[in-house]
Amino acid sequence: MSETAPLLTVEDLSVEFRTRDGIVRAVDRVSFDVRWGETVGVVGESGSGKSVTALAIMGLLHPAGRVTDGRVIFRGVDLLAGGEGQRRRYRGRELSMIFQSPRTALNPIRPVGKQIEDVVRRHADLAGTRARDRALGLLAEVQIPDPGRSYQAYPFELSGGVCQRVMIAMAVACVPALLIADEPATGLDVTTQAAILDLLKQFAQERRMATLLISHDLAVIGERSDRIVVMHAGHVVEMARTAELFRAPRHPYTARLIASTPRPGATLGDLKPIPGGVPDLRGNLPPCRYRARCDRAIPACDEPPLPRVELTPGHTVACRVPL
């Protein structure tokens, strides 16, 4: 299979949730791709649809959610067309995911080593002592001190950082081609956060593992990603290489997001809030969902469809009046 084609291509992905108060269009025609070995960051406020996108790719959406449109092509195969059986073949082996709260994602009454072993048995077809050795090896690879003892430990006996390392060990057990990391370090301490992100980077480099890094924290995304996808209210508003995005953001929302993120040397006066909030995603929405918060809007913004303009190669923006 050719390695020049992207590893993962998401095309016009749309997801809806049925709720008591109507249909929530959580993700609307989202498109992006991830190339072999690269780290793509997805950033956005809560309610921007970044986690829903990740879950839709994995086929792990909540039952109330439904993919209404679009394709998710992983290694040339459309995961959405193939059904659950096909997704299960990729999931855990070539496509892995880690979540924000590792402690709740682990089984509380099974030693963590055993849980890693379960993954190894199921996906790497190892058995007996070889599975156990592999699990111990993985614990060492994610730099958990004293793997032998940690193997026996239950999740509640371990700190949040160590639990997240265990999750990473499970996720990388089968050398996946793509790891989706949904807020992998949120809620952890700064030093632990840095260590976890370092570990992910190390795996990415050593194994040419592509990473889809999802976070609400622009600083984390900016520090760790090769390319950035900015999401707002279920739309991809801008996509560019990291340096370019920070140097010359073209979507007004991206610019506002950068201006509101604390950075060294900035004073409180330098930080500008983003007016308004993420719009209610029920009912009839304008073509541009940033319209109500935007100070650059022109009448043409109310006319569908939402444009998707490639300003320079690799830098696309969904705006009629880009900066």
Partner 1 sequence: MGVPLLEVHEVSRLFPVRGTRRWLHAVDGVSLSVMPGECVGLVGESGCGKSTLVRLIARLLDPTGGRIVFDGRDIGTVPAWRFARAAERAWIQMVFQDPVDSLNPRFTAFDTIADPLRRLGVAPERPRLRDRVWEAADLVGLSRELLGRFPHQLSGGQQQRVAIARAIAVRPRLLLLDEPTSALDVSVQVVILHLLADLQQKLGMTYLFVSHDLNLVRLLSNRVLVMYCGRIVEAGPAEAVFNRPDHPYTRALLSAVPVVDPGERRPRIRLAGEPRSPVEPPATVCRFYGRCPEGFERCEREMPALRPIDRDHQVACHLFESRPGTTLGE
Which residues contact partner 1 by CB under 8 A? 45-46, 145, 159-162, 189-195, 197-198, 216-220, 222-224, 246, 256-257, 260-268, 271-274, 277
Which of the 8 DSSP states describes residue 306?
P
Query: Please, what is the minimum distance in Å from the beta carbon of residue 168 to partner 1?
Result: 17
Q: Are 314 and 84 in contact (CB under 8 A)?
A: no
Minimum CB distance to partner 1 smaller for 125 or for 270: 270
Query: Please, what is the minimum distance in Å from the beta carbon of residue 300 to partner 1?
Result: 25
Query: Please, what is the minimum distance in Å from the beta carbon of residue 262 to partner 1?
Result: 4
Minimum CB distance to partner 1 smaller for 159 or for 312: 159
Dmax (CA) of the chain: 68
Minimum CB distance to partner 1 smaller for 8 or for 144: 144
Query: Please, what is the minimum distance in Å from the beta carbon of residue 86 to partner 1?
Result: 36
Query: Please, what is the minimum distance in Å from the beta carbon of residue 121 to partner 1?
Result: 29
Query: Please, what is the minimum distance in Å from the beta carbon of residue 12 to partner 1?
Result: 27
Minimum CB distance to partner 1 smaller for 132 or for 165: 165
Minimum CB distance to partner 1 smaller for 174 or for 255: 255
In this structure, what is the dihedral angle of CA atoms 219, 224, 226, 230, given to the nearest 10 degrees?
Answer: -40
CB count within 10 Å of CB 240 equals 24
Query: Please, what is the minimum distance in Å from the beta carbon of residue 7 to partner 1?
Result: 25
Query: Cα–Cα distance between 31 and 72 in angstroms, integer?
Result: 9
Minimum CB distance to partner 1 smaller for 2 or for 46: 46
Three-class DSSP category at 283: coil
Q: 147 in the Ramachandran plot: left (φ > 0), alpha (ψ -120 to 50) or beta?
A: alpha
Three-class DSSP category at 307: coil
Q: Please list, in sequence order, all residues whose beta carbon lies within 8 angstroms of the beta carbon of residue 107, skipping any fewer than 6 positions away.
A: 115, 155
Query: Please, what is the minimum distance in Å from the beta carbon of residue 276 to partner 1?
Result: 9
Three-class DSSP category at 160: helix
Query: Cα–Cα distance between 62 and 254 in angstroms, integer?
Result: 29
List, in sequence order, every beta strand (DSSP E) within the chain.
Answer: 8-19, 22-34, 39-43, 65-74, 77-78, 95-98, 178-182, 210-215, 227-232, 235-241, 309-312, 315-317
Query: Cα–Cα distance between 239 and 34 in angstroms, integer?
Result: 12
Minimum CB distance to partner 1 smaller for 108 or for 265: 265
Minimum CB distance to partner 1 smaller for 44 or for 70: 44
Query: Cα–Cα distance between 230 and 64 in angstroms, integer?
Result: 25
